[in-house]
């Protein structure tokens, strides 16, 4: 059988978030997710998955053709796909640095150089969302969004890691503290706070997020790609 995965899009850009911000990277966005975040900025890979099957070999060829040495495997949720292992093995064989971006609800021991985990806080649950009139997704999302065994398995498996939280208000911090108290194998420098939104945050928002980071020893997470390109697909 052909080795394929459903792909919403691929593109060459700079990594916009996290420890590798600014690094030229080839992005592979898998289409499909086990969550439905209210503020998801890639609904074409979650709420209404788009795209088509792509052969793994052609994805690697396209990545190498850009000259990038880094690949970012994102979604959607990469870990729900059985063939993620084959995709990661192929990029590892091509000697590319692999980042996987995940919500941390599923764990598989695949090849990965940096795991970027973004646990979803209560602010993500799509209550009263017109896309989910019977709240069936809201209930599933709420049940699935935190999986402590999966989170701890990811943190134990990968030495290079970051835990990125999307925050809407200072009220989110108590939930973050509670979650972190149940996780092992992380350091405070691995924790990133990113203001929610697909536009650059206001100076006031940047300030309260930065002040919390300074108090806790966490990192403020910018979105460089939004600053450079705006909220556009393929960037
Ligand atoms: S986990 Fe990511 S891709 Fe899935 S719905 Fe949430 S933000 Fe969107």
Share of the chain above pLDDT 70, in %: 100
The Cα-based distances of 125 to 8, 98, 102, 180 in angstroms read 23, 29, 17, 19
pTM for the model: 0.96
Enumerate the β-bridge partners of residue 162. 116
| 36 touches ligand 1 (CB under 6 Å) | yes
Alpha carbon of 123 to ligand 1 centroid (Å) = 13
Judge contact between 91 and 102, C-beta under 8 A: no
What are the counts of helices (DSSP H) followed by strands (DSSP E) for the chain?
7, 9
The Cα-based distances of 205 to 177, 181, 192, 210 in angstroms read 20, 25, 15, 8
| 172 touches ligand 1 (CB under 6 Å) | no
- Per-residue model confidence as pLDDT tens digits over 52-64: 999 999 999 999 9
| 77 touches ligand 1 (CB under 6 Å) | yes
Alpha carbon of 50 to ligand 1 centroid (Å) = 14
Does the structure show a pLDDT above 60 at 1?
A: no
Atom of ligand 1 nearest to the CA of 43: 8
């Amino acid at each position: 059988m052909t080795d394929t995965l459903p792909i919403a899009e691929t593109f060459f850009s700079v990594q916009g978030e996290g420890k590798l911000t600014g690094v030229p990277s080839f992005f592979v966005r898998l289409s499909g997710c086990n969550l439905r975040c209210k503020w998801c900025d890639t609904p074409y890979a979650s709420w209404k998955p788009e795209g088509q099957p792509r052969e793994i070999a052609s994805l690697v060829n396209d990545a190498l053709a850009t000259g990038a040495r880094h690949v970012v495997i994102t979604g959607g949720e990469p870990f729900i796909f059985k063939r993620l292992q084959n995709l990661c093995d192929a990029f590892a064989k091509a000697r590319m640095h692999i980042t996987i971006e995940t919500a941390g609800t599923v764990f598989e021991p695949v090849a990965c150089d940096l795991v970027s985990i973004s646990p979803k806080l209560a602010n993500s649950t799509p209550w009263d969302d017109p896309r989910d009139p019977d709240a069936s997704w809201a209930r599933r999302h709420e049940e699935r969004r935190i999986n402590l065994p999966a989170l701890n398995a990811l943190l134990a498996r990968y030495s290079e890691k970051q835990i990125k939280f999307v925050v809407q208000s200072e009220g989110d911090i108590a939930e973050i503290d509670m979650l972190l108290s149940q996780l092992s194998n992380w350091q405070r420098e691995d924790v990133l706070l990113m203001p929610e939104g697909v536009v650059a945050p206001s100076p006031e928002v940047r300030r309260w997020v930065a002040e919390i980071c300074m108090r806790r020893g966490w990192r403020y997470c910018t979105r460089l790609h939004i600053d450079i390109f705006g909220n556009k697909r393929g960037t």
